[in-house]
Homo-oligomer: A and B are copies of this chain.
Amino acid sequence: MAQLRNVTELLERTQAILGDALLDVERQFDDELASSNPYICDILEHTRRFRGKRLRPLLCLLVAKAVGDIEREHLILAAVVEMIHTATLVHDDVLDEAAVRRHVATVNVRWNNQTSVLYGDFLFTHAFHLAASTGSADACRLIGRATNRVCEGELMQTRNRGNLSLTEEEYFSIIDGKTAELCAVSCEIGARYAGGSDAVVEAMERYGRNLGLAFQIADDVLDLTGLESSIGKTLGTDLEQQKLTLPIIRLLQLCPAEQREQLLLQLEDSSESACREVLRQARELGAVEDSLATARRCASEARQALEILPASPARELLMLLPTMSIDRSC
Contacts and interface: CB of A to CB of B under 8 A. Distances in A.
A250 interface: no
A114 to B, nearest CB: 5
Interface stretch (A6-14, A118-126, A190-198, A304-312): A118-126
Given A134-B137, A158-B114, A122 B95 contact: no
A115 interface: yes
Interface of A: 36-37, 39-40, 87-88, 91, 94-95, 113-115, 117-122, 124-126, 128-141, 143-145, 147-148, 150-152, 154-156, 158-159
A303 B134 CA distance: 36
Contacts of A129: 141, 144-145, 147-148
Nearest to A94: B117
Contact of A91 (B117, B145, B147, B152): B117
B122 A132 contact: no
A156 B114 contact: no
Instruction: Tell me how many chains of this kind the complex includes.
Output: 2
Contacts of A114: 95, 158
B159 A91 contact: no
7 contacts: A39-B159, A94-B117, A95-B114, A121-B121, A122-B155, A126-B151, A128-B147
Contacts of A137: 132, 134-137, 139-140
Given A115-B155, A125-B144, 9 more contacts: A37-B155, A87-B121, A88-B121, A118-B155, A125-B147, A128-B147, A128-B148, A129-B145, A136-B137
A265 B71 CA distance: 59
A194 to B, nearest CB: 20
- Residue from A121, A141, A152 whose CB has the most chain B CB atoms within 10 Å: A121
B95 A117 contact: yes
Contacts of A118: 91, 95, 151, 154-155, 158
A125 B151 contact: yes
Contact of A121 (B36, B40, B151, B159): B151
Contacts of A115: 155, 158-159
B151 A122 contact: yes
Contacts of A154: 118, 121
Contacts of A126: 144, 148, 151
Nearest to A158: B114
A125 B149 CA distance: 9
